[in-house]
Amino acid sequence: MNRYLHMKTKLLALIIFFTCFNFVHSTTILTDPPREKFVVVLDAGHGGQDPGNRGNGYYEKDIALNIVLSIGAELEKLPDVKVIYTRKSDVFVTLAGRAEIANKAEADLFISVHCNAHKSQAQGTETFVLGLHRNQDNLEVAMRENQVIFLEEDYEVTYDGFNPNSPESYIGLTLMQEEFLDQSVLLADLIQKNFTHDLKRVNRGVKQAGFLVLRQTYMPSVLVETGFLTNTGEGSYLNSRSGQSGMPQAITKAVLDYKKSINLEILEGLDRNPPVALTAEPQEQPLDIYDGITFRVQLAATGKKIEPNPKNFRGLREVSRNKEGKLFKYYYGATSSYSQIKELHEIARRSGYPDSYIVAFRGNEKISVNDALKTKMK
């Protein structure tokens, strides 16, 4: 009897051991590995002895800081986002120092927040990416924001003899952010759309200009002009609780939409998502063929290298992968017809890619869709 009880006890112990082992083992397999955090560097323009513009008696440095702190407070609520500030109080930080903070953090995004000024009652929001100015207004905005370097010691050395007041310096500006331009424009466009649609602000568009703070960052970067303090109504709005609540909400929403678009968290655990049934892809020969242009639907831009086969992209066929800068970009379809690419875009959206969008190429060069549509049709 004792021998029987002893054997029964040993058997029970073995059952418990293997049950626990299998549970732990299966839990290890099913638990997703920790994902790296999405790093956003928020830069409140000006600060300290640099007040920024003083339109209507308001302080640009204070308004920019309030907006940035509100954006950060919302983003910090998300477990997979890390927020870094170039300043959290009224202190002076050099333009090079701001970029260095972002570069050391290996940030995914850099967003610099400012308020605009003009001698007229100009109004509206505009978001800039780095590039050569296309008109005098863009040049004047860049000149005004870059003049802060005169408050820095040895600015001639730090910025390689760059003179903010010399148009020639801008002509020689190197577009160091070229590999990040697409992502910068995407974020800028999302910000402007939110300002326009959600806040009903006047839309001055996405623009390029030679901002030193953007020139020295090595990630997608934008400079946001949230409005004109020199405009009576707009200055009052930006200095109000309403303005300093609405502006951060619009920018935060754009950051999250951007993050979803380029990271496409849908790529996590693709093998667990069965392909969806698709409607038939367009077969008829389109009439609107643009000479030398190839349209594609961008599904994702991520650091992950994934095989572009249907099982990894929810059943979508004709997915291609291209390494651009530090990112792998995944495109669906390839056609010279704009009507056909719009149909493919709709298929992509219905298949689980709501943040996908259309891009255009002339040969191997990526161009804007607007420029592509200006090309003659065959």
Q: What is the full DSSP assignment across 192-245?
A: HHHHHHTT---EEEEEEE--HHHHT--S-EEEEEEEETTSHHHHHHHTSTTHHH
Say what the pLDDT of residue 134 is. 54
Question: What's the length of the chain?
Answer: 378
Sign of CA dihedral 261, 262, 265, 271: positive
Crossing angle of the two packed helices 243-263 and 60-75, in degrees rounded to 10: 50
Tokens 């418990």 belong to residue: 16
Task: Write the pLDDT tens digit of every residue in 174-217.
Answer: 444 456 777 888 899 999 999 999 999 999 999 887 777 787 78
Task: Say which amino acid occupies 343.
Answer: E
Token pair for 115: 């308020």
Say what the pLDDT of residue 31 is. 33
Query: Considering only CA atoms, which of 183, 206, 182 is closest in space to residue 193?
Result: 206
Distance, in Å, from the CA atom of 328 to the CA atom of 315, rounded to the nearest integer, reads 19
| Contact yes or no for 269/32 (Cβ under 8 A) | yes
Distance, in Å, from the CA atom of 49 to the CA atom of 42, rounded to the nearest integer, reads 20
Query: Considering only CA atoms, which of 6, 11, 97 is closest in space to residue 50?
Result: 97
Mark 130-164 as b/e (b = at least 16 C-beta within 10 Å).
Answer: bbebeeeebbebbbbbbebbeebeebeebbeebbb
Distance, in Å, from the CA atom of 117 to the CA atom of 53, rounded to the nearest integer, reads 7
CB count in 10 Å sphere of residue 101: 19
Say what the pLDDT of residue 107 is. 92
Judged by phi (left if over 0) then psi (alpha if -120 to 50, else beta), residue 325 lies in: left
Apex 200 CA angle, 359 and 129, nearest 5: 40
Tokens 């999302």 belong to residue: 190
Distance, in Å, from the CA atom of 323 to the CA atom of 95, rounded to the nearest integer, reads 31
Crossing angle of the two packed helices 181-197 and 243-263, in degrees rounded to 10: 140
Q: In what order do the strands lie in the sheet with 319-324?
A: 319-324, 327-335, 293-302, 357-362, 365-367
Q: What secondary structure letter does DSSP report for 31?
A: S
Token pair for 320: 């291609």
Residue ranges of the chain whose pLDDT lies below 70? 1-35, 132-139, 141-142, 148, 155-165, 167-179, 263-286, 326, 378
Q: Which domains does the chain have, with CATH numbers?
A: 38-263 (3.40.630.40), 270-373 (3.30.70.1070)
- Report the Cα 133 to chain-centroid distance in Å: 21
Q: What are the backbone angles phi and psi of residue 367, rounded to the nearest 5°?
A: -130, 170
Task: Say which amino acid occupies 204.
Answer: R
Apex 92 CA angle, 88 and 93, nearest 5: 80
Report the SS3 class of residue 108.
coil
CB-side exposure of 75: number of CA atoms within 13 Å?
Answer: 28
Token pair for 293: 């242009």
Say what the pLDDT of residue 164 is. 65
Say what the pLDDT of residue 227 is. 97
Distance, in Å, from the CA atom of 307 to the CA atom of 304, rounded to the nearest integer, reads 10
Q: What secondary structure letter does DSSP report for 274?
A: P
Distance, in Å, from the CA atom of 85 to the CA atom of 47, rounded to the nearest integer, reads 13
